[in-house]
Amino acid sequence: MIRTFFAVGLLGAAFVVGAAGLAPAQWGGSAAAQTAEPATKSVAEMSLGDPDAPVTIIEYASFTCPHCANFHDTVFKELKKNYIDTGKVHFIHREVFFDRYGLWASMVARCGGEDRYFGIADMVYDTQKAWTAGGDPATIVGNLRRIGLTAGLSDEQLDVCLGDADTAQSLVAWYQENAEADNVTSTPSFFVNGEAYSNMSYADFSKVIDEDLAK
């Protein structure tokens, strides 16, 4: 079954992970309302392909969603080869946060910047069962750090990225704003040139894209 999202306010406390361990960063309710001032850090859209491509696909996905991992292991690889790399599709990946672990994974993936994001994201999806196993926060942090180190990030970089409470809050506020604006209720969810779709096989995706390309 496709995983349905719950408002972040129902998840209780999240944590930002720094060199000193786990430090609480409350994200109940609207993230932008947590402090006297709204989050100030801008959040970069992570995308692949030509921004001027005739078809734009936006994926809403969670790094802890098994269906999202399966999509990236199967359908996405074919989409990238046949449509993104050939200039036909501009692909945008937007994170959804079911839980603090998905937020931490996003912070690690984004730690390498836009150039490394999709490579790290692939590693996070590919090893999802392994790094989420057990559900112990300290273990999951260690697993995500190992992914970052394998991707070429340093311990110092990971300390800074995982300890950045402002970025964590901005990401949650950004996710909530996007999800509410696009009425996203499950992952993975897709928008192909603005039209909403649920999870699809590669054959169905290809049909939708080809129809848009033919217009």
Helix (H) or strand (E) holding 18: strand 13-18
- In angstroms, the Cα distances linking 35 to 31, 57, 180 are 8, 34, 21
pLDDT of residue 3: 46
Record the tokens describing residue 197, joined without a space: 């779709």
d(CA 103, CA 95): 8
Q: Which of 180, 156, 165, 179 is nearest to 40 (CA)?
A: 165
Using the Cα atoms of residue 138, residue 141, residue 146 and residue 149 in order, give the sign of their dihedral: negative
d(CA 152, CA 28): 33
Q: Which of 143, 150, 165 is nearest to 63 (CA)?
A: 143
pLDDT of residue 98: 87
Topology (CATH level 3) of domain 45-213: Glutaredoxin (3.40.30)
pLDDT of residue 2: 45
106-131: pLDDT as tens digits: 999 999 999 999 999 999 999 999 99
Query: Got the DSSP string for 113-151?
Result: HHHHHHHHHHHHHHTHHHHTTT--HHHHHHHHHHHHHHT
Torsion of CA 195, 201, 202, 206, to 10 degrees: -40
From first to last of its 215 residues, the chain has per-residue pLDDT tens of: 344 444 344 333 344 554 334 443 433 333 333 333 444 468 999 999 999 999 999 999 999 999 999 999 999 999 999 999 999 999 999 999 989 999 999 999 999 999 999 999 999 999 999 999 988 888 999 999 999 999 999 999 999 999 998 899 999 999 999 999 999 989 999 999 999 999 999 999 999 999 999 98
d(CA 111, CA 157): 7
Q: What values do phi and psi take at 210, rounded to 5?
A: -65, -35
Q: What angle do CA 35, 40, 45 make, to 5 degrees?
A: 125
What does the domain layout of the chain look like in residue ranges?
A: 45-213
pLDDT of residue 202: 97
